[in-house]
Every structure is written in structure tokens, then in C-alpha cells.
């Protein structure tokens, strides 16, 4: 890849959040193309894989610089690696988990985090029956240890898997302890200060929006 194809460094503060949310989709598709032996891809092929228009892909990438030449497409490996760098996926990230019930245990045992550079290094729960027991070799600590553990280490991400009624107070405690990113599985939309990144994961909401389209299918004439 020539210097002409290297992205131009610029102020990225104005990149729309929806564009950032699409970047991991690009990384995954590019990784799949690499696994299939593809070395070059154009926006039309990438668009077909992701069901995104080629124009949207070109616009998304233009926020971060120039990655290819017109008519020649993109180097799959170069583009994948550059997007991983932009997302910070070229380094390792440590996370802590709060809430070690059924959902929390499933999260901590999920094998997909480590290959992408994410490690759950600490787990916390308020249930005395769970405290002290290991989950995937990680001892469950009481909530009273949370501040000290986070301040002593380099935990940047908190994963919240507690009931909705506890979510806000847990998130407040994580933020006060220095966590800058929250992945929230509780079925609630908590508030966080400016500068804290939060992503809410609620499968029920996804199912509820899905049923709208299922109803449209049911209403079609046969």
C-alpha cells in the first residue's frame, strides 16, 4: 500500500455516532474476506456483504481519510488494520463485570471477547452467596472492593448485568471509580456524565422492533 493510500490524520470529533457504530461491522466483514483469501475489495462488494449502499460506505470511510484509489478498490488487510487502529482494537482492553447471576456468568464465559482484545479481569456482586466463588478462575468480589480494584488497575470498561433497579447506582459507582466506558445489559436507560461512553444492550427491545416487521408480513395479501 503506497503512502497515497494512507489515511489523512484529521480532527475526528465530529464523526457521527452512527458511523462509529458501523465501523466494527466493516472490520468483521473485512476479516471474513481475508479468511476467504480476498486481497482487494471495492465498495460495491462490501456493500452487498453488509447491505449498505456503496455511497454510504465511501462516505463513512471519508471521515477518516483516504484508504484506496478510485477504480482500484481497497486493500482488504490494510483497510481492516486501519479501522482496527481507529477503533483502538490494536491494543488490549480490561473490563470488570458487575452482576454475576445467570447473565453475568454467561458474559464472563463468552469466548468471543479475548480474540478481539477484551479481557474481563474482575467481577463483583452484592450477593454474599456468590462472593468469594470463582467464575472462570475470576473470584467474585464484594461491591465494597470495586473502587479500590478499579483505581489500582487499568480497567477502562464496566459491564453491567444487574437488575434494572440497581443499574443506575452501579453505573454511578463505576463512573466515580474511574471507568470511562459502560456496556449496560440492564433493561433501563441510565444517565451518565459527559465524557462517559455507554452502550445499552437490550434483547427485548430488539425483539419488540422485530415484531413490527413480522406484522407487516402477516398483513400482506396471499
Q: What is the pLDDT of residues 87-142, one digit of tens each?
A: 999 999 999 999 999 999 999 999 999 988 999 999 999 999 999 999 999 999 99
Backbone angles phi, psi at 93, to 5 degrees: -125, 130
With CA atoms as reference, report the closest residue to 187 among 205, 212, 169, 174: 205
How much is the average pLDDT of 139-162? 93
> Is the predicted pLDDT of residue 38 greater than 80, yes or no?
yes
What is the band of 221 on the pLDDT scale with cuts at 50, 70, 90? low
Residues 154, 160, 162: CA angle, nearest 5 degrees: 145
Q: What domains are there in the chain, each with its CATH number? A: 3-86 (1.10.10.10), 93-205 (3.40.50.720)
The pLDDT score that the predictor gives to residue 65 is 87
Instruction: Please state, for a pLDDT cut of 70, what percent of the chain lies above it.
Output: 91
- Could you give the CA distance from residue 152 to residue 170 in angstroms, rounded to a whole number? 19
Inter-CA distances, 66 with 1, 44, 157, Å = 12, 17, 31
Which grid cell sits at 24?
466494527
pLDDT exceeds 70 at position 7: no
pLDDT above 90 covers a percentage of the chain that reads 77
**How would residue 1 be classed by pLDDT, with cut points 50, 70 and 90?**
very low
- Residue whose C-alpha cell is 472462570: 136
CA–CA gap between residue 133 and residue 139 (Å, rounded) = 6
The DSSP symbol for 6 reads S
Residue 29's CB: how many other CB atoms inside 10 A? 20
Bridge partners of residue 183, in order along the sequence: 159, 199
Average pLDDT over residues 67-84: 88
Place of cell 453491567: 160
- Shortest CA distance to 95 belongs to which of 169, 159, 177? 159
Least confident of 12-21, 65-74, 106-115, 208-217: 65-74
Report whether pLDDT(10) > 60.
no
User: What's the whole-number average pLDDT of the chain?
Assistant: 90
β-partners of residue 140 are: 123
Amino acid at each position: 500500500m503506497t503512502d497515497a493510500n494512507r489515511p489523512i490524520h484529521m480532527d475526528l470529533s465530529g464523526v457521527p455516532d452512527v458511523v462509529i457504530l458501523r465501523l466494527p461491522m466493516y472490520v468483521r466483514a473485512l476479516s471474513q474476506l481475508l479468511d476467504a483469501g480476498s486481497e482487494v475489495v471495492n465498495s460495491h462488494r462490501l456493500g452487498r456483504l453488509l447491505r449498505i449502499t456503496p455511497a454510504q460506505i465511501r462516505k463513512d470511510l471519508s471521515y477518516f481519510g483516504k484508504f484506496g484509489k478510485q477504480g482500484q478498490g481497497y486493500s482488504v488487510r490494510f483497510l481492516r488494520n486501519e479501522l482496527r487502529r481507529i477503533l483502538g482494537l490494536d491494543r488490549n482492553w480490561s473490563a470488570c463485570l458487575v452482576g454475576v447471576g445467570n447473565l453475568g456468568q454467561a458474559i464472563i464465559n463468552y469466548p468471543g471477547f479475548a480474540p478481539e482484545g477484551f479481557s474481563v479481569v474482575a467481577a463483583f456482586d452484592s450477593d454474599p452467596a456468590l462472593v468469594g466463588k470463582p467464575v472462570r478462575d475470576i473470584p467474585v468480589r464484594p461491591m465494597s472492593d470495586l473502587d479500590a480494584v478499579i483505581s489500582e488497575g487499568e480497567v477502562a470498561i464496566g459491564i453491567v448485568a444487574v437488575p434494572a433497579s440497581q443499574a443506575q447506582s452501579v453505573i454511578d459507582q463505576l463512573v466515580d471509580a474511574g471507568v470511562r466506558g459502560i456496556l449496560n445489559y440492564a433493561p433501563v436507560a441510565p444517565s451518565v456524565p459527559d465524557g462517559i461512553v455507554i452502550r445499552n444492550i437490550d434483547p427485548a427491545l430488539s425483539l419488540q422492533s422485530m415484531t413490527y416487521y413480522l406484522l407487516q408480513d402477516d398483513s400482506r395479501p396471499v
